[in-house]
Structure 1
Amino acid sequence: MSRHEAKFIKEIIKDVLNKLEPKYLYVPEHLVGMDRLARNIYDFLSTATDDVCIVGIHGMPGIGKTTIAKVVLNQLCYRFEGSCFLSNINETSKQFNGLVPLQKQLLRDILKQDVANFDCVDRGKVMIKDRLRRKRVLVVADDLAHLDQLNALMGDRSWFGPRSRVIITTRYSSLLGEADQTFQIKELEPDEALQLFSWHAFKDTKPAEDYIELSKKAVDYCGGLPLALKVIGALLYRENKDRWESEIDNLSRIPNQDIQGKLLERSLNVFREKQSS
């Protein structure tokens, strides 16, 4: 076999493996209260015009924006030449030259190959536009906080090919001026909040009989914030009533105007502790 033939065969194998590579992202098993909104976003993107279509998902931190974006990407990704989920954009961009790694990830995930090395955002912009403008792609830009972050990844619609789809998640609706449609995620209804809490505190759709009142109190303090409900529920899983009462007492000490912010901070700290243990 000649060197040229061997190289040709390796390229074929690489191409086949890329096509077989799973594109799905992990999402929690129990998506309480999110199915309807995910379906609405999916339907809009599926029936949109042949132009590049941009959808914005906005809401407070911990409300489920990232999860819904993952659900929609999983449903749509096989319709496109390439897909990319750019997570935690705001946090990543705070690092030195942090937008450049995001640009490289966008190119690498869609092209399925190593990209030319560059260390300048402006150079990355040129490469994205040059390499992706004829490709039909699906891109999720998760947790945008500033327009310069979006401009570094998609300066305008011409950077991607016709029928491409872009999903933006952000807590700031003011950043979604160019979106064709926006969707706001609101807090869960009380019955949905109790169900989500129960999945994590009891591994069931409802609380254990002798924990019903305590569960309702915990849910009242968490409000309809999914992240707080999940983490506090997991924190109380298999704990005795004394621990439950102690934790709920701690929750009750948080002023109403501060509860969502404090719960989110607490939830994130508990989550990080569990991840590192």
Structure 2
Amino acid sequence: KDGIGKVSGWRAALFEAANLAGWQFFGDGYEYEFIDKIVEKISDMFAQVYEPTYLDMPECQVGLDSRVKHMLEILDIGGSDVRMVGIWGIGGIGKTTIAKAIYNAIAHKFDGWCFLANVREGSVEHGGLVNLQNIILSSIVGQKESIINNVHEGTTLLRKRMQHKKILLVVDDVDSLD
């Protein structure tokens, strides 16, 4: 009896699998573009499954909630356009703490997310901007190995991979908009 039940279960599963619709390539374009679309679709599916890693916060957070609330109002993340907000001031006043708190509060509402820390230092060391671009690609798209070789290539690839997606990118310790 157990054998018949297993066979019936397998038969039902195979029948269901046989009726699934797949992707077809009709030769009406480049095969690599077709494969890129499949990879992008699967990446989108995985992005919906995974939760962001929340960042560590300091124990003492006096006055943080009101500042975060104000920043969230400014960001208005319900919109579909690009938002860019800068937090500036002298060192040690809590800019990074506010940025982390905002990231923790809203990252789950995005298709992809990345918190780039120590950008000023990272942009001149460890491969510079190309390394930062590879970190963004890895974090947001899930690209494991470094595939960006120069800044211009990285800009094009990031734009292509992130277009039509709602992305949260927090860039900490920046001293230039370039």
TM over 0.5: yes
- SS of the residue aligned with 1:58? coil
Segments of structure 1 that go 5 or more residues without pairing to the other structure are 6-10, 149-277
Give SS of 2:85's match.
Answer: strand
Counterpart of 2:111 (choices 47, 56, 81) is 81
- Using the TM superposition, give the Cα deviation of residue 96 of structure 1 relative to its aligned residue in structure 2, in angstroms: 5.2
Structure 2 unaligned spans of 5+: 1-16, 18-38
SS at match of 1:85: strand
> 1:30, CA displacement in angstroms?
1.9
RMSD: 3.0
CA contact (8 A) 2:99 2:170 kept: yes
- 1:18 and 1:112 in contact (8 A); partners too: no
Letter in 1 for 2:142: K
The answer as to whether partners of 2:51 and 2:108 remain within 8 angstroms in 1 is no
Q: Does 1:105 align with 2:135?
A: yes
Looking at structure 1, the residues matched to 51 and 78 of structure 2 have their Cα atoms a distance apart, in angstroms, of 27
Instruction: State the shift of 1:49 in Å.
Output: 3.5
Indicate the residue corresponding to 1:45 in structure 2.
Answer: 75
- In 1, Cα distance between the equivalents of 2:77 and 2:121? 33
Q: Deviation above 4 Å: which 4+ runs of structure 1? A: 15-18
C-alpha contact 1:107 1:115 (8 A) present in aligned 2: no
Deviations along 1:210-240, whole A, 9 cap, x unmatched?
Answer: xxxxxxxxxxxxxxxxxxxxxxxxxxxxxxx
Q: In the TM superposition, what are the counterparts of 1:126-205 in structure 2 within 5 Å?
A: 126-148=156-178
Separation of aligned partners in 2, 1:48 and 1:36: 20
Instruction: Give distance in 1, aligned partners of 2:146 and 2:90.
Output: 37
> Hey, what's the Cα distance between the residues in 1 that align with 2:141 and 2:47?
13
TM-score for both structures, normalised by structure 1? 0.45
Cα 1:22–1:55 shift into 2, 3 Å:
closer
* C-alpha distance 34-95 of structure 1, shift in aligned 2 (>3 A): same
